[in-house]
Each structure stands twice: as C-alpha cells, then as structure tokens.
C-alpha cells in the first residue's frame, strides 16, 4: 500500500511538541515524534545533560503529509512516506561557545504517554521489554534493561573522557539512574516490533551518539550528534522514521537502503 502517512500535532502534558504519525487505513499504525527532550555535552546550552526546548511549534502542511519546526537556530522538516517519514534537521551554532564532537540532541520516539491513555498505542508499549532493538556489533541486539545507555562505539572514549572525576567504569549518566552498557551501538537505528509481531516502528539518523529506551513513557531515544560545530557554522543531518506492517528485519533492510 503506497498511501502516505498523515501528520498532526499532539499536545498532552509533557509532550506538547510531538507530531503524530497515522496510517490513513490501519488504526493500529500510529506513533509520536517528540523534538526534543535533552541537550547533551554543550549542544546549544552548556552542560552535559540539560532539559531541551519543549516550546517549539509544529506547523502541519497542506494535506497533512508534511510538518516543520522553524526557529532562528534550527529547522526540522518532516515529510511523510508510505512507511514512515523522512527527516532533515538543519542546525546552526548561534551560541557563545563551540560545540564538541559529542554534542547531541535527544528526541523521543514513542507510542503515547501512559498518563494520557486516550492517545496511547498499546501495540508498541513493550512493557515486558522484549520487542525493542538497537544495531550492535553483530547486528540487531535486544534493548532489555530500562534506561540503559548504549554508546556509539566511535564516541565511547570521548564520552567517558568528558567526566574525569567519574568513578572507575562509571559515567555521569548513572547519577540519573541511566546505567552504562558495555554493548555499544554500531549503526544509527532503533527498532521496536509490536506486541503481536505484525508491525514495526523505528527511528534512524545518519549521525548519532547513544541509544536508550524504556523510560517512563516506554519510549526510545536515539540522540542526534550535532557536533562538532563551531560558532556561526551550520550543518544538516538526515533522519528517518519507520512505521509499517513488517518485521524488525524488514525495518533494518529499509534503513540500510536509505542510509547506504
């Protein structure tokens, strides 16, 4: 089926700047993209872990197949496809400091806020944590532990070096009860299958820092690596949302084709 997904604003408390993606013909296929929840490592604002901007206003395009956020320092474009959406983030460093290589933003990809049951998609909640995956050293690996962090293997040393006062083998994220995994992420994709195995949702970026899941909203976090970026410079980063009937293997194959 080649019909485009529909996009709309969704604004319950705590996720007021989410865009909702819906299949026009299958009521089981819907999910939400929240941009963005955290700054990491001096991206935009100084600090290793700082709450993001929750005030962006999504503008939905004619036909409900496009959406965007336009601000002075960034522009995010979302274009619906038949199996998800294409994302392009254009960002400029207009802060008073250069951003390091590991500077990142953390969007949230989720299936509804459990505190707002009317908007929840129960098929993608993964409450038993058996249907969520990241791309590890040897392919897809299960994201089992709640809040566990999986670092981009190319960035692990820089992340750990950013906290010289840490205890041995610990990272500052653990102070927030986000344990550090020894299993690194090797590709910028996170995938979740529905509880019945019929559907899949996923998110990918061509520049990423870490993967994490199973927070209070049963969500998935794949951070966008926006650094290094000097003051006054800008860059564009491609992303992709997947939402279709199929398996995690189908989603991985599509991701590999999209980001080849």
For the segment 31-76, what is each residue's pLDDT rounded down to a tens digit? 999 998 889 999 999 988 888 877 788 899 999 999 999 988 999 9
pLDDT at 117 over 70: no
- Gyration radius (Cα) of the chain, Å: 17
Confidence of residue 172 (pLDDT cuts 50, 70, 90): low
Residue recorded with tokens 């650094």: 227
Beta bridge pairs of residue 70: 75
Domain ranges of the chain: 6-258
Cα separation, 127 vs 139, whole angstroms = 23
- The continuous run of DSSP H or E covering 76 comes out as strand 74-81
pLDDT at 166 over 60: no
SS3 label, residue 13: coil
SS3 label, residue 154: coil
Cα separation, 209 vs 54, whole angstroms = 21
- Among 93, 108, 59, which residue's Cα sits nearest to residue 226? 93
Is there a cis peptide before residue 228, judged by omega within 30 degrees of 0?
Answer: yes
Residues 199-247 have pLDDT tens digits of 999 999 999 999 999 988 889 999 999 999 999 999 999 999 999 999 9
Whether 242 and 255 have beta carbons less than 8 Å apart is answered as yes
Cα separation, 247 vs 109, whole angstroms = 18
Q: What average pLDDT does this structure show over 166-195?
A: 78
Looking at residue 168, what is its pLDDT?
A: 44
Q: What is the distance between the terminal CA atoms of the chain, rounded to a whole angstrom? A: 24
> Was domain 6-258 assigned CATH 3.40.50?
no
Looking at residue 144, what is its pLDDT?
A: 87
Q: Exposed e or buried b for every residue in 98-123, given b needs 16+ CB within 10 A? A: ebeebbbbbbbbbbbbeeeeebbbeb
Q: What average pLDDT does this structure show over 243-253?
A: 97
pLDDT at 96 over 80: yes
**Kind of pairing between the strands at 187-193 and 199-205:** antiparallel
pLDDT at 160 over 60: yes
Contacting residues for 88 by C-beta, under 8 A, at least 6 apart: 76, 77, 236, 237, 238, 239
Q: What average pLDDT does this structure show over 65-92?
A: 96
């Amino acid at each position: 089926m080649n019909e485009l997904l529909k996009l709309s604003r969704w604004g319950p408390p705590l996720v007021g700047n989410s865009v909702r993606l819906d299949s026009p013909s299958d009521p089981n296929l819907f999910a939400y993209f929240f941009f963005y929840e955290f700054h990491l490592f001096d991206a935009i604002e100084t600090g290793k872990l700082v709450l993001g901007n929750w005030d962006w206003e999504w503008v939905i395009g004619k036909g409900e197949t496009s959406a965007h956020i336009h601000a002075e320092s960034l522009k995010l474009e979302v274009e619906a496809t038949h199996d998800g959406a294409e994302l392009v983030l254009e960002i400029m460093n207009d802060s008073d400091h250069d951003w390091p290589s590991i500077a990142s933003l953390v969007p949230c990809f989720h299936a509804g806020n459990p505190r707002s049951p009317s908007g929840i998609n129960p098929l993608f909640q993964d409450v038993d944590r058996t249907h969520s995956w990241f791309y590890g050293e040897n392919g897809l690996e299960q994201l089992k532990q709640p809040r566990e962090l999986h670092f981009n293997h190319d960035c692990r040393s820089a992340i750990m070096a950013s906290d010289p006062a840490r205890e041995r083998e610990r990272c500052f994220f653990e102070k927030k009860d986000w344990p550090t995994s020894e299993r690194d992420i090797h590709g910028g994709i996170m995938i979740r299958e529905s509880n019945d195995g019929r559907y899949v949702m996923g998110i990918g970026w061509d520049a990423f820092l870490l993967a994490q899941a199973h927070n209070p909203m049963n969500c998935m976090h794949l951070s966008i690596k926006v650094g290094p970026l000097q003051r006054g410079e800008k860059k564009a980063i491609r992303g992709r949302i997947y939402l279709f009937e199929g398996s995690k293997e189908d989603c991985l194959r599509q991701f590999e084709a999209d980001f080849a």
